[in-house]
Amino acid sequence: MSMETRRIGPLTVSAIGLGCMNLSHGYGPPPAEAEAVALLNRALDLGCTFLDTAAIYGVGGNERLLNRAVMHRRSEFTLASKCVLDAIDGKRVLDARPETIRRTLDDALLRLGTDRIDLYYLHRPDPQVPIEESVGELSRAIEAGKIRTIGLSEMNAPTIRRAHAVYPIAAVQSEYSPWVRNPEIAVLGACRELGIGFVAFSPVGRGMLTGTVRTPSYASGDMRNQLPRFQEPHFSHNLHEVARFETLAANAGVAPAQLALGWVLSRDETIVPIPGTRNIAYLEENLATAAVSIDDAVLAQVDALFTGDTVHGGRYSRDMQAMVTTETFPGELG
């Protein structure tokens, strides 16, 4: 099946991609491999041509999963992965030194079973390594034919500008949804100015904008156990605001997740959301959004709903926030 496409630098991808992280970790126990393989292939069957993984996802396991699941269909999709954020002895580390990037990339190519990654991100900024050195190493990987384009993830506008001055950046990836608006502070403006595509992860609010989260109780290993806005004293307030969002979706005749994705798609034609899911029915619902028409007046209501101090609580824990440089709103970090 075909789907509307969008451009990310020199890459042409489906208007809605697939974030693959939660097939290996992040939101509790991962699905059985057979279920994950079926979901990945169903995504390709439905015209999703943009798959996003990373070295840290499942500590390499997610890249190996994609190898087993869909590399026999390699010509059908654009492959994105990431380096710098990794795990050593079970602890997350940042290492953007050129020699580490080279090793991580070579390991990723082996895990994925491919000779080239289309979009390779610096997953997080490493405060110990100038961004110029890291981007320089990725530019050499392009020359060597190991990657096609360079991306940045969860970095602020000044860092994006410094990186782009070394080598053209194809995409910036950050969390963006109706209730996470941080990229609007400066990053989206920098991307528009520099001609960089924007990839929105968690575009349905880590499940909060899907109509499925009703209590602040999550499975063991679910990252939302550590995220302030998903826990009390913030959760009950946020759930009340989300109920208003769900009413807008019901009145518009679309699922809440489709309203969230439709809003993200409407923000700019250079934005590509990459919702993740472990459920094929939700996958089909998400991807169907590309063909759904939502009235501009409804989108304007969504835009107005989550502004100012509507949402309470930071989007990251203190430790996780220390690993990103994305701009924050006044009072967001408490």
High-pLDDT (> 90) share of the chain, %: 93
- With a cut of 90, say whether residue 187 has pLDDT above it: yes
- With a cut of 90, say whether residue 315 has pLDDT above it: yes
Mean pLDDT of 113-129: 97
Tell the residue number behind the tokens 């990987």, with chain if given.
Answer: 141
**Fold entry, domain 5-214+258-292:** TIM Barrel (3.20.20)
Q: Taking the model in full, what pTM does it have?
A: 0.96
| For the chain, domain boundaries | 5-214+258-292
- With a cut of 90, say whether residue 2 has pLDDT above it: no
Mean pLDDT of 124-143: 98
pLDDT of residue 19: 98
Long-range contacts of 237-242, Cβ-Cβ distance < 8 Å, separation of 24 or more: 237/312, 238/179, 238/208, 238/311, 238/312, 238/313, 239/213, 239/214, 241/179, 241/305, 241/306, 241/310, 241/311, 242/179, 242/205, 242/208, 242/209, 242/213
The 10s digit of each residue's pLDDT in 24-34 is 999 989 999 99
pLDDT of residue 294: 96
pLDDT of residue 334: 67
Active-site annotation holder among 57, 120, 218, 316: 57
- With a cut of 80, say whether residue 139 has pLDDT above it: yes
The 10s digit of each residue's pLDDT in 256-295 is 999 999 999 999 999 999 999 999 999 999 999 999 999 9
Catalytic residue list contains 57: yes
Mean pLDDT of 138-167: 98
* Residue 10 pLDDT class (50, 70, 90 cuts): very high
Mean pLDDT of 232-260: 97
Nearest to 328 by CA among 144, 190, 180, 214: 180
Mean pLDDT of 16-28: 96
Q: Which of 82-96, 98-112, 176-190 has the lowest mean pLDDT?
A: 82-96
* Residue 309 pLDDT class (50, 70, 90 cuts): confident
Long-range contacts of 87-92, Cβ-Cβ distance < 8 Å, separation of 24 or more: 87/56, 87/59, 92/56, 92/323
Mean pLDDT of 173-196: 97
Tell the residue number behind the tokens 């430790």, with chain if given.
Answer: 319
Rounded Cα distance between 249 and 244, Å, is 9
The 10s digit of each residue's pLDDT in 40-92 is 999 999 999 999 999 999 999 999 999 999 999 999 999 999 999 998 777 88
**8 A C-beta contact, residue 300 and residue 325:** no
